Structure 1
């Protein structure tokens, strides 16, 4: 379901891409060199850190999913992925990536009294398939020893590229919490009365997100590149952490689901009167978000042009 917050992100994405395209056109095109075509096709592997921005955990303040100021560094987890990038224009590329990582949040990590007393915690794997459009802000690309047959012997390969990106992602998640020392799936426990009388609506374990990010990469050999990439992913769900609306009737939970559901719904450790039926448990107006910060290893798989190609075409430089 697209609420007002997600609609603003969609509008911002479209506006940003339109502005970048207009700016590039107004600055006289992309130069005369075709060296960018030496790097059309790439495969890449990513590994790095993940961060969750949602109702649980965070710093010593009221939570917000819209600001990295609420990052809880102790909840940092890890992820990895791989993908394919195709550059179809000097300034534009598209990439497809499959990524898997773990997200985590824990109220025990904050000194903000309401969140700490609430005492909720979770972890969730996220498996994401994304399709992105990249806009290249700066590029300096020169053929090196790889292109000896074209007269470039002795020159090191350069492929310095700085870019921003956005797109759309589909992902799977499965929130869990520890009960009696074992990780237990939360969705079947219906902690906010999902699907029960007067409870919240049931949620799916798949959703969409909009990634916004920035990246930089450079050559470390004839075919290899090394890069760093950071993305902020605003989702269309508020249930990655299984927390969104209000506390449900514990007697009904006990009767319909069982004791584990009662505990998972309300494990508060103090100020218990704040966490009774009908009281706020999460913020349904502010969907969850997560971040990926990755080191990327990139392999250029673009085939060199056959011998006999004009040297002037291959020995030039592209610099934005």
Structure 2
């Protein structure tokens, strides 16, 4: 009985939609094949810099570094877009997009103590061009343009009074980017173009150098991410990359040819240098030879020995220190008589590594991405008189014979 009631309920709900579809002329789109839109909105990104809450604080646990929960809301920027769409079929369109945007990230915005200790930041302009296929899942409906009613006072417009449409899209594109960053390690907040500084030593050593040895523990062979040795200006990452736009949107038509749409789009990319951060800290002395600002802006600790570590002497006490937060590799209580005489009992020899040469600066296995949320106005352009004839060329009227 319950099953029969449920089936009857579905039929009652879906019947108006199915019946209405019977009277929909599938060739009508041919009279309005062209559509243009312009919109503004908010932009953000997922990169190695900044991020959301500490993994331990996040409701998503280990997934906190994986997707949208790693976004810094306070780093939200703006986006402006223009698009042209050509309807190939009634529910399939080819859309060309042009986008101008800014995205940014800042380690000061995250509660993750490791990233805050790194203290990096970036901002870049994005100029994107893309071509996507758009699939209309639910067509938007405007009803009667003049809100007409029949003699009984009932609306003769669309059966769905809200008339919202739903669509999804996916495609391919390319974009320009060129990250800048502010010096967070000095008294003056000077802005620098990051790419020419080669902050991770891109192209300063050959890929077969020992610095790019395989990191078995992390499962990263850094030779795969090394740049060919080059002293030329283009020896580092490029300013252009490929993106894959995907997303969905909601449309509302105010009459047959115009309306608004709210769209959320995500861009996967083939670069990990949107933020100028990807692999490991490089040799500060080698960076200084390339550019006097490179080591400073990269954030590498310059108070280190040749092994990338430095030694200090601290009174540890009964409570061990927070190793990751302080950047401590290990510590051992002093037993050397000369050191005991100099420092006294209770002191330990502590080996630090934080932000030092060869240590983690980013993760090259996770490529960068960015996203937009836009509110746009769109306009469908009516075709010529000839197109109206073409639109109805496949429509045959059936006439009942009478005698």
Specify the TM-score bucket, using the shorter chain as the normaliser: 0.7 to 0.9
In structure 2, which of residues 268, 283, 296 is the aligned counterpart of residue 249 of structure 1?
Answer: 283
- SS state at 2:288 partner: helix
Q: CA deviation at 1:197?
A: 1.8
Q: CA deviation at 1:302?
A: 2.4
In structure 2, which of residues 330, 333, 358 is the aligned counterpart of residue 278 of structure 1?
Answer: 358
In structure 1, which of residues 185, 191, 211 is the aligned counterpart of residue 193 of structure 2?
Answer: 185
| Contact kept in structure 1, 2:281 and 2:300, CA below 8 Å | no
Write the distance in 2 (CA, Å) between the matches of 1:220 and 1:94.
23
| Contact kept in structure 1, 2:39 and 2:80, CA below 8 Å | yes
Alignment deviations for residues 32-83 of structure 1 (CA, whole Å, 9 cap, x no partner): 5133334421111021000110101111235977411111101100010111
Aligned pairs for 1:87-98 within 5 A: 87-98=87-98
| Contact kept in structure 1, 2:141 and 2:252, CA below 8 Å | no
| Contact kept in structure 1, 2:51 and 2:72, CA below 8 Å | yes
> Corresponding residue for 1:213?
247
How many residue pairs were aligned?
A: 276
Write the distance in 1 (CA, Å) between the matches of 2:157 and 2:83.
26
Q: Which has the higher strand share?
A: 1
> Corresponding residue for 2:274?
240
| Contact kept in structure 2, 1:165 and 1:214, CA below 8 Å | yes
Alignment deviations for residues 120-142 of structure 1 (CA, whole Å, 9 cap, x no partner): 10000010001001111111446
- SS state at 1:46 partner: strand
Aligned pairs for 1:269-308 within 5 A: 271=327, 273-303=353-383, 305=385
> Corresponding residue for 1:169?
173
| Contact kept in structure 1, 2:140 and 2:166, CA below 8 Å | no
Alignment deviations for residues 104-160 of structure 1 (CA, whole Å, 9 cap, x no partner): 0001011111111000100000100010011111114467559xxxxxxx9779974
Which structure has more RCO (C-alpha within 8 Å, separation ≥ 6)? 1
Q: CA deviation at 1:305?
A: 4.6
Alignment deviations for residues 256-310 of structure 1 (CA, whole Å, 9 cap, x no partner): 211x211111167974722111111100001001110000111111226579998
Change (3 A) 1:267 1:155: farther
> Corresponding residue for 1:33?
25
- SS state at 1:274 partner: coil
Gaps in structure 2 of 5+ consecutive residues: 1-17, 56-62, 147-154, 208-225, 228-235, 302-324, 328-351, 396-403
Q: CA deviation at 1:219?
A: 1.4
Write the distance in 2 (CA, Å) between the matches of 1:114 and 1:89.
52
> Corresponding residue for 1:72?
72
> Corresponding residue for 1:264?
297
- SS state at 1:245 partner: coil
| Contact kept in structure 2, 1:119 and 1:267, CA below 8 Å | no
- SS state at 2:353 partner: helix
- SS state at 2:88 partner: strand
Change (3 A) 1:168 1:104: same
Write the distance in 2 (CA, Å) between the matches of 1:111 and 1:160.
40
Write the distance in 1 (CA, Å) between the matches of 2:195 and 2:64.
23
| Contact kept in structure 2, 1:45 and 1:297, CA below 8 Å | yes
Write the distance in 2 (CA, Å) between the matches of 1:84 and 1:65.
35
User: 1:48 aligned to 2:128?
Assistant: no
Write the distance in 1 (CA, Å) between the matches of 2:125 and 2:264.
19
- SS state at 1:284 partner: coil
Gaps in structure 1 of 5+ consecutive residues: 1-26, 147-153, 314-320
With normalisation by structure 2, the TM-score equals 0.62
Aligned pairs for 1:102-141 within 5 A: 102-141=102-141
Change (3 A) 1:140 1:257: closer
Return 164-173 or 133-142, whichever deviates more: 133-142
